[in-house]
Amino acid sequence: MFTRTESFRAFIRYYPIVSIIIAIHLVLYLLTVLPIFPNYWIVETFSGVNLYIMEGELWRLLTPTFLHSGFSHMLLNSFSLLLFGPALERMLGRIKFLFVYLVSGLIANIATLVFEPLTYTHVGSSGAIFGLFGFYLAIIMFRKDRLSRQHSQIIMILCIVSLIMTFLQPNINIVAHLSGIIGGFTLGAIRYFNKKDFFDSMRSAAFWAESNRKKLAYQSPLKVIIWSAIILIAIIGFFVKG
């Protein structure tokens, strides 16, 4: 599923959206490094600058998703898309896959506008790619039959490692990564959420609570307060840039 055995021509035919996005990454990178015209114009015009967005340049909420700050940045994001995009494009179809990718990137850039200062500048497709990871997580949670156990484990490990590295590496747009994966998960949950399964889970939880009602009644108020504080801190931590 995540291994590529197609020829170059077959890959483009089977996964046109992934191919086009990677081509855009490469072309824009080359345009910013080749001395064929004032290449700084591309970065200055299409990068994400919160101040300019607030002044009305709304295209900057989307265009940074296709720009990168260097060759390694472009290569890493394109390689991630090459590995994990095709399966989702085949699963969703071209239009829906493109919708998930662009909306996840848009959510990441809007969150960056909201939580980062006006002077903040950013580029990169990481928010959109994390959105794909989030969509995979929604599939794992709501439609386990769509992914094998092995592939589900790969996605889970990848998400955990990626989130850990988000906080360890310098110059990372933490807000974009977190909001991208949350946005992708939300889109996946909207698509695959099953009311029957949800209410079955609620009934199971209610049955467990009723069975353990007496035990729950004797919980220490201090313990409840401590756990509530831990959960609140964890939630706040998702939105604070380290």
Per-residue pLDDT tens for 161-199?
888 888 888 888 999 999 999 999 999 999 887 655 555
Torsion sign over Cα 238, 133, 8, 90: negative
Mean pLDDT of the chain: 83
Q: What pLDDT is stored for residue 145 in this prediction?
A: 82
Domain 8-191 in CATH 1.10.340.30: no
Q: Where are the domains of the chain?
A: 8-191, 197-231
* Residue of 150, 68, 64 lying closest to 111 (CA atoms): 64
Read off the pLDDT of residues 14-23 as tens digits, 9 standing for 90 and up. Answer: 999 999 999 9
Q: What pLDDT is stored for residue 235 in this prediction?
A: 44
Question: Torsion over CA of 25, 30, 31 and 34, rounded to 10 degrees?
Answer: 170
Q: pLDDT-based confidence at 223, cuts 50/70/90?
A: low
Of all residues in the chain, what percent carry a pLDDT higher than 90?
54
State yes or no: pLDDT of 141 exceeds 80: yes
* Residue of 75, 131, 156, 132 lying closest to 164 (CA atoms): 156
State the catalytic residues.
126, 177
